[in-house]
A and B are shown apart, each in its own frame.
Chain A
Amino acid sequence: MTEIIGPFLEGAVRTATPLAFAALGETVVERSGIINVGLEGSIICGAFGGLIASSYEGTWLALAAAGISGMAVSTLFGVFVTRLRSDQVITGTAISLLSLGLTGTLYRQLYGPAGSALTTATMSILPVPLLSSIPWIGPALFSQPPITYTLYAFVPALWWWIYRTHAGLGLRAVGENPEAAIAAGVRAAHVQFAAILFGGFMGGVAGGTLVIAQAGTFAEGMSAGRGFIAIAIVVLGRWHPVGVALAALIFGGASALQYLFQTMGWNLPYQVFLALPYLLTLLALAGVAGRVSAPASLGTWIRGW
């Protein structure tokens, strides 16, 4: 049994890692009342930035570079949405399309039209002594690339920041009632812009993780809609860091199901498993409708002020 469940759980955590990074970043953004559909763009740019950086730097620096690439993209989004007051959704969509096209173009230019990639420095799995030997969950949680371990510290840190600092309080207020926040002296536009930058960085790290800690290579469009799935994860996780991390894990598990089924000898067409995360997103969004309360000003700001 452990031979089946073990790899399944490991796969779940591995798939969940980039989703969690992106979703946690988006959580902060949405808590400030903004929905960033351009998250997909941050992820793919992060992946590409990570690819380039990893041929010059070590893995951790490359991941940082990935984060910065993602942040650069979201800066553009932030300018359009907070300064020009453009429609958030159309802007986000355009940013995603731009990023996908740009990374595809640059990739083909740099690495040839066939798209054969240089494999680059990758972050390999680093088992934690003792902890990784715990039966069932040990390998899953503690036999991962170290970037995953940063999540374990990051989630509680983010939780603390949102609920135990004045800055986090201000963020939440902007997302609930921006007028009240402004009347209390909070600089709403600054808060939103900072949140967008942070979200972009996290999206970039997610993309970097895909390349550096998982695939070891880049492929056009490899973000494969993760940005949009991350948005659904935020809803499922009820905009709470711990909830979001758990929801990411659920999605990771859904994607890893294909290995489980294959090992068990159930033969479903592989497209079913490829489509599963997207199907799950639809079901999850429909399922939690009416039972979760989004930050109150999230809906109203979607069509611009």
Chain B
Amino acid sequence: MRIAFGMINHDKGEIRINGLPADLRSPRAAIKAGIGMVHQHFMLVPTMTVAENVELGGTGKYDERQSADRIRQLSDETGLTLDPLARVSSLSLAGQQRLEIIKALARHARILILDEPAAVLAPAESQELFTLIRRLVESGRSVVLITHKLQDAEQYADDVSVLRHGKLVLSQPVSEVTMESLAQSMLGSARMSARPLLQKAATQPRRTSGDPVIRLENVSVERISSPRDLHNIDLDVRAGEIVGIAALDGAAADLLRVIAGRCKPIAGKSTTPEKVGFVPEDRQHDALIGEFSIFENIALKDIGRRKGRMPWSDIRRDADALIKSFDIRAPTTRTTARTLSGGNQQKLVLARELSDNPVALIAENPTWGLDIQAMADIHARLRVAALNGCAVLFYSSDIEELVDLADRVLVIRNGGINEVERVAETIGNALLGSSPSSQIDS
């Protein structure tokens, strides 16, 4: 959809609007073609007012009063109430979303794209949103709704298309599909062909023993990207255990960084071992130095504490061994990290973090952006680590992965954490809060 709004340029194929080919080279062109987009991560200027954000991209003189009148008029028409003179940073997430919609409507958008709008809304607000969408459609506009909530698709859409791993797998009128067929096409009916490593590791029973290696008691964590901090977090992970966390909105990352020792909690007691491996989500920004070679990236492990000279020949030899055992496809250890594929980069990070046999391994979304093969590989390695006695704690935005890999699943919602049954639908409902009765503890 970012291609449709001109934010990315497509490599192949063509775009047609109302049968006529369209050149959507930039958002400016898309807007002119009558396309409006409500982004998942809002494209707003926080220090500016609602009116200024709506007017952005216009021409001529900027008259705040005129703009405010226009916004109030649109508000009345659509029922989206907004104070034109309020600063965006003071708006709630729902309010910011209303602004995004008003922005698009103010530009006379005929085609409206909404990217996961319900992610930031409470159920009642969702209802209102969809009522508005219905009204817009009835007035002659077209709406493209991107969502992972199958109920919304079934209830409100006329046609539905499913994309999985970059390919279109389904495109039919809603009347011709069922919830089950939708779910199946999203998650994939046939699990990928036998993943031998995975099978082997999956069948070996693991003993989880002894005292928890990681223990959080009544911990509070400050959230960077959200005003809602996490409170009263109790969490245990034992050696040999694999615990998965599901969360929306980046909540898990803040918690995991505290556990991995990269941040301090604001309250409570956090017991974590000294030797902890950490796999951050943004591997190119936070885990690897792109311009460094493979062996130099491996040398980053614990470099903060090392003294004296760097034993490069030893490091290179160890790196060679790691590359082999982790099956990292690269010509030599001198290859720069940024030329590796995503899967190989992730394997490199994992190899490094596991290289000193840590007592615990913390991973943020370890298979994000990887294809099936690479995912399976990473999963297998995490299991092997657990088999060797490592306590593995990870967060994933992929519910299927949680079910597959974790022994136990925890869900972060509303600033707290709960354990839930390791069933896809249960986890999904707990995350989205649409069926509170499915939570084990409330």
Contacts and interface: CB of A to CB of B under 8 A. Distances in A.
Contact of A172 (B43, B44, B48, B61): B48
Contacts of B5: 183
Given A177-B46, A184-B43, A168 B62 contact: yes
A166 B28 CA distance: 15
A177 B62 contact: no
Interface in B25-47: 26-28, 31-32, 37, 39, 43-47
Closest 3 CB pairs of A and B: A185-B57, A183-B43, A185-B28
A184 B27 contact: yes
A166 B43 CA distance: 18
Contact of A166 (B48, B59, B103): B59
Contact of B47 (A164, A170, A176): A176
Contacts of B7: 182-183
Interface residues of A, number: 23
A94 to B, nearest CB: 22
11 contacts: A163-B62, A164-B63, A169-B55, A173-B48, A173-B52, A181-B45, A184-B27, A184-B53, A184-B56, A185-B28, A185-B32
A170 B43 contact: no
A79 interface: no
Given A176-B48, A184-B56, A169 B27 contact: no
B60 interface: yes
A181 to B, nearest CB: 7
A181 B31 CA distance: 13
Contacts of B32: 185
B331 interface: no
A185 B7 CA distance: 10
Nearest to A163: B62
A179 interface: yes
A169 B26 CA distance: 19
Chain A contact residues, majority secondary structure: helix
Given A164-B61, A165-B61, A168-B62, A187 B56 contact: no
A185 B54 CA distance: 11
B44 A169 contact: no
A169 B7 CA distance: 21
A176 B63 CA distance: 21
A23 B48 CA distance: 24
A186 interface: yes
Given A170-B56, A177-B45, A179-B43, A184 B62 contact: no
A33 B61 CA distance: 22
Contacts of B19: none
Contacts of B103: 184
B27 A166 contact: no
B13 interface: no
Contacts of A164: 61-63
B57 A180 contact: no
Contact of A180 (B28, B45, B55, B59): B45
A296 interface: yes
A184 B57 contact: yes
A185 B31 contact: yes
A173 B45 contact: yes
B311 interface: no
A169 B46 contact: no
B62 A173 contact: no
A177 B44 contact: yes
Contacts of B53: 180, 184
B34 to A, nearest CB: 12
A163 B64 CA distance: 10
A185 B32 CA distance: 9
Given A176-B48, A177-B44, A183 B59 contact: no
Most B CB contacts (10 A, CB to CB) among A164, A176, A180, A296 go to A180
B60 A165 contact: yes
Contacts of B56: 166, 169-170, 173, 180-181, 184-186
Nearest to B39: A183
B291 to A, nearest CB: 13
Contacts of A179: 43
Nearest to A182: B27
B58 interface: yes
A176 B45 contact: yes
Contacts of B31: 184-185
Given A173-B56, A184-B103, A296-B46, 5 more contacts: A166-B58, A169-B62, A172-B48, A183-B5, A185-B107
Nearest to B64: A164
B62 A166 contact: yes
Interface string B113-130: 000000000000000000
A169 B59 CA distance: 10
Contacts of B48: 172-173, 176
Most A CB contacts (10 A, CB to CB) among B44, B45, B47, B55 go to B45
Contacts of B107: 185
A165 B31 CA distance: 20
Contacts of B61: 164-166
A46 B28 CA distance: 36
Given A166-B55, A166-B59, A183 B45 contact: no
Given A182-B26, A183-B27, A183-B39, A166 B47 contact: no
B203 to A, nearest CB: 47
A154 B47 CA distance: 26
A164 B55 CA distance: 11
A180 B96 CA distance: 13
A185 B55 CA distance: 11
A185 B27 contact: yes
Most B CB contacts (10 A, CB to CB) among A164, A176, A177 go to A177
Most B CB contacts (10 A, CB to CB) among A166, A186, A296 go to A166
